[in-house]
Amino acid sequence: MRRLIVVLVVALAAVAGGWLLLGRPGGGATATPDPSIAAVPSSTEVVADGRVVPARSAELGAGVPGTIAEVLVAEGDDVAAGAPLVRLDPAAAQADVDAASAAVAAGDAGVARAVAGVAQAGAAVDAAAAAVDQAVAGVEGARAARDGLPSSASDAQERAADAEIDAARAALAGAKANLRGARAGAVAAVAAEAAARAEADRASASLAAAETGLDQLTIAAPFAGTVASLDARVGERATPGVVLARVAGTTGWRIETTDLDETTVARVAVGTPVTITFDGLPDVRVDGTVESVALFGASAQGDVVYRAIVTPASVPDGIRWNMTATVTVQAGG
């Protein structure tokens, strides 16, 4: 009996001990985390390389091939919108314009002659129609004269009257033939006028094309800005597609990222604050904000990168186009 009581006491003690072990905070699988212990935060920064670009820029080249005849600016010059920067030799293009101008003048003269021809043809039709009316009246008069012969008229008189009718009818047939010819001439004159106008239109189109070619010989600034680079020398050959000048707008600068990858782009949003440092200005640090983030990722050296544009709050002295920069984005967790 005493042995049974001891066994029961030991068993109850073991159960109680296990309950205390499992029920104590932090012990066993059912432990509840202590809310006073903070989770380790993930990084709140995204660091990306970038380069300095103008807020507005243009790369300019020749629209047509040619030889550079004039270079009107130098690097660093401030230019107004439309200011000429480089001119190609206009000799050949001017010859085309002169030839096209002569063709236009000839076309205009041809139209004037054709218009006069239409007027003359119209007058001929009117005259021929009047002649037909006169011939019809002649036939009617000859018939009336024949019908008016007295019963006592001789055979000679009747034959003479019949001959007058025949002559009047022949005159009417001739007048009608002339009218048909005049009308055909009028149709031809109208067609000639249409052809002359078409030729004049072609000449005008050729002149417009030649003038456009002449205009393309002048490379002009598309907006007010600064000539950032100039690779044009008098006497050299200009080829379409080759950049001769770069113009940076005067509206400010932006930082364009070059390596924001797909693992970090989702944490960068428009309006997110950033800090910017410049490799060429090691003591300079400026604040900024994300202006835009591309939706499309481009392949670059085996990675997918997204372009983001950052607007600096201020622009330090010494900033130049294509300077390298480091953008630190305060992206949040």
Q: How many CA atoms lie within 13 A of 233 on its CB side?
A: 1
**Cα distances (Å, whole numbers) of residue 248 to 162, 223, 229, 251, 327:** 99, 9, 9, 9, 22
Structural tokens at position 261: 């990858």
Mean of per-residue pLDDT scores for the chain: 85
* 288 dihedral zone (left: phi>0; alpha: psi -120 to 50; beta): beta
Q: pLDDT tens digits for 2-34?
A: 333 333 333 334 434 443 334 444 444 444 555
What confidence score (pLDDT) does residue 259 get?
87
Q: Which domain holds residue 246?
A: 59-88+217-250
141 and 186 in a single domain? The answer is yes
Q: pLDDT tens digits for 253-299?
A: 999 998 888 888 888 999 999 999 999 998 999 999 999 999 998 88
317 and 271 in a single domain? The answer is yes
169 and 71 in a single domain? The answer is no
101 and 209 in a single domain? The answer is yes
Q: pLDDT tens digits for 46-56?
A: 999 999 999 89
**pTM over 0.85, yes/no:** no
Number of domains in the chain: 4
287 and 311 in a single domain? The answer is yes
What confidence score (pLDDT) does residue 24 get?
44
Asked whether residue 36 is domain-assigned, the answer is: no
Q: Can you give the CATH number for the domain in which 231 is found?
A: 2.40.50.100
Structural tokens at position 149: 């012969």
84 and 224 in a single domain? The answer is yes
What confidence score (pLDDT) does residue 43 get?
56
Q: pLDDT tens digits for 222-249?
A: 999 999 999 999 999 999 999 999 999 8
**Cα distances (Å, whole numbers) of residue 10 to 1, 6, 15, 22:** 15, 6, 9, 19
Indicate the pLDDT class of residue 35, thresholds 50, 70 and 90: low
155 and 302 in a single domain? The answer is no
What confidence score (pLDDT) does residue 315 get?
87
Q: What's the rounded Cα separation, in Å, for the pair 211 and 208?
A: 5
